[in-house]
A and B are shown apart, each in its own frame.
Chain A
């Protein structure tokens, strides 16, 4: 399926994927501290494993903390 993740088109080999799986797939650091929006709406952390991302969905994940460059 085709998704737009943080402003970039991305193809995923699946018809749907849980938010948490998507974050892991994209190697998102510090998942506990990231704020995720699915099609402009906030996704609660406790829903990360059950909320499914589907064809043409728009996903944004943002950090609001002072971070550190986690990936070299």
Chain B
């Protein structure tokens, strides 16, 4: 069955009392039970009843069920943001002394989480070149628990070979964790590429147009948790549910970064039109990137769907024609970048991705603002780069806007 058909016809766990065709927003903090025994059973996880909305909630559960339906995953847990999903995943999976192999070319806040916040918990993040398998293999040792990647990195737009990385993780009996925020669900089949754990910022495509923040963890049930230094005891008790159990019974519950019912509702709506919006924004991106390549004022254009991209073949293999909706372009200087941004009339100056509106940003001075120019060099973030997060407007209108703003960059 097609992605959108599955989404639109995901069954409720329980029939709605009024026959509502859309899952209602259960804006309730708590749920009552007929007797103390039932309440105890629900608390112990012995019956699948909702107790308290920090733990589970019918509307939130329906969003999770929709994602389970289209991914075929073992379990799905949602969070208040994409960053909450990443941090909760690692809090559940690793302990002091463990290390994770990843790249420096990550979303700025993810990089900050890794090399500052989680480092202080005694967790080491080893920064390798994920596009170079020798570099990856060389970074792995007996304390390595996972490889973490972004399917398309933000904002470098690097594409790693996910299947090749999965061969390394399976050989070393470690996890492959993919942040697929730039290419979630409809754009990239994580299961087919042997990703064990998928993490998505649902704030982006899934929210339906920048409506709400949220994060999703998808567990494909492919990892043998008896190999996990932290979760091997849980594996004995819970088998493939070891990670989901640790999240539900401890990390997600105790850290409290739950998705609100209202945001979950907005995201169930977003999923219904996700495929339509993804098709349009990716097609727009290719058209705009090809146009940008022909502009003399643009020093460099980066989009994995461009034939000139170093990642074009890999991108075609992994994402087909849906190579995401992020483009970066380099102008002559930071000053030109700011002039360009300040002269945009349709495109909005804002951070976020996969809004329905096209957004533009200067990454070095915004999402990487905590780093000095020297520190930005190894991160690959240039002061001459602008990130365009392409929306679903007319490509022609967007090109006209970019063109007039480019023409005003002469000082």
Looking across the interface, which residue of chain A has its beta carbon closest to that of B78?
Answer: A66
Contact yes or no, A70 B239, CB < 8 A: no
**Shortest Cβ distance from residue A49 to the other chain B in the assembled complex, whole angstroms:** 16
Q: Is the C-beta of B237 less than 8 angstroms from some C-beta in chain A? A: yes
A residues 7-37 with Cβ under 8 Å of B?
Answer: 7, 29-30, 33, 35, 37
Known A-B contacts A6-B41, A35-B245; the reply to A65 vs B48 at CB < 8 A is yes
Known A-B contacts A42-B239, A69-B50; the reply to A64 vs B14 at CB < 8 A is no
Question: Which of B41, B50, B235 is the one whose CB lies under 8 Å from A68?
Answer: B50
Q: Is the C-beta of B249 less than 8 angstroms from some C-beta in chain A? A: yes
Looking across the interface, which residue of chain A has its beta carbon closest to that of B68?
Answer: A65
Contact yes or no, A63 B64, CB < 8 A: no
B residues 69-97 with Cβ under 8 Å of A?
Answer: 75
Interfacial chain A residues near B241, Cβ < 8 Å: 35, 42, 64
Partner-binding segment picked from B53-61, B205-213, B333-341, B403-411: B53-61
B residues 212-249 with Cβ under 8 Å of A?
Answer: 235-239, 241, 244-245, 247-249
Q: Is the C-beta of B294 less than 8 angstroms from some C-beta in chain A? A: no
Looking across the interface, which residue of chain B has its beta carbon closest to that of A33?
Answer: B48
Interfacial chain B residues near A71, Cβ < 8 Å: 47
Interfacial chain A residues near B55, Cβ < 8 Å: 66
Q: Is the C-beta of B28 less than 8 angstroms from some C-beta in chain A? A: no
Q: Is the C-beta of B49 less than 8 angstroms from some C-beta in chain A? A: yes
Most buried by A among B12, B75, B239, B245: B239
Interfacial chain B residues near A68, Cβ < 8 Å: 12-14, 48-50, 58, 61
Question: Which of A7, A37, A41, A70 is the one whose CB lies under 8 Å from B48?
Answer: A70
Looking across the interface, which residue of chain A has its beta carbon closest to that of B243?
Answer: A64
Question: Which of B58, B236, B239 is the one whose CB lies under 8 Å from A66?
Answer: B58
Compute how far the CA of A62 lies from the CA of B13 in the bound complex, rounded to whole angstroms.
17
Determine the interface band of chain B, counting residues with CB < 8 A from chain A.
20 to 34
Contact yes or no, A69 B56, CB < 8 A: no
Q: Is the C-beta of B20 less than 8 angstroms from some C-beta in chain A? A: no
B residues 232-278 with Cβ under 8 Å of A?
Answer: 235-239, 241, 244-245, 247-249
**Shortest Cβ distance from residue B375 to the other chain A in the assembled complex, whole angstroms:** 41
Interfacial chain A residues near B14, Cβ < 8 Å: 68-70
Q: Is the C-beta of B24 less than 8 angstroms from some C-beta in chain A? A: no
Contact yes or no, A62 B61, CB < 8 A: no
Contact yes or no, A42 B13, CB < 8 A: no
**Shortest Cβ distance from residue A61 to the other chain B in the assembled complex, whole angstroms:** 7
Compute how far the CA of A68 lies from the CA of B48 in the bound complex, rounded to whole angstroms.
6
**Shortest Cβ distance from residue B149 to the other chain A in the assembled complex, whole angstroms:** 26
Known A-B contacts A29-B48, A30-B48, A61-B46; the reply to A66 vs B61 at CB < 8 A is yes
Compute how far the CA of A69 lies from the CA of B236 in the bound complex, rounded to whole angstroms.
28
Question: Which of A37, A65, A70 is the one whose CB lies under 8 Å from B237?
Answer: A37
Known A-B contacts A37-B237, A42-B235, A62-B45; the reply to A67 vs B56 at CB < 8 A is yes
Question: Which of B44, B48, B235, B236 is the one whose CB lies under 8 Å from A67?
Answer: B48
Q: Is the C-beta of B291 less than 8 angstroms from some C-beta in chain A? A: no
Interfacial chain B residues near A29, Cβ < 8 Å: 47-48
Mind listing 15 A-B residue pairs with CB under 8 Å? A6-B44, A30-B48, A40-B237, A42-B239, A62-B44, A63-B47, A64-B238, A64-B241, A65-B48, A65-B56, A65-B248, A67-B61, A68-B49, A68-B50, A70-B14
The 9 closest A-B pairs by CB, nearest first: A67-B48, A66-B61, A66-B56, A68-B13, A42-B239, A62-B45, A63-B48, A68-B14, A64-B248
**Interfacial residues, chain A to chain B (CB-CB below 8 A):** 6-7, 29-30, 33, 35, 37, 40-44, 60-71
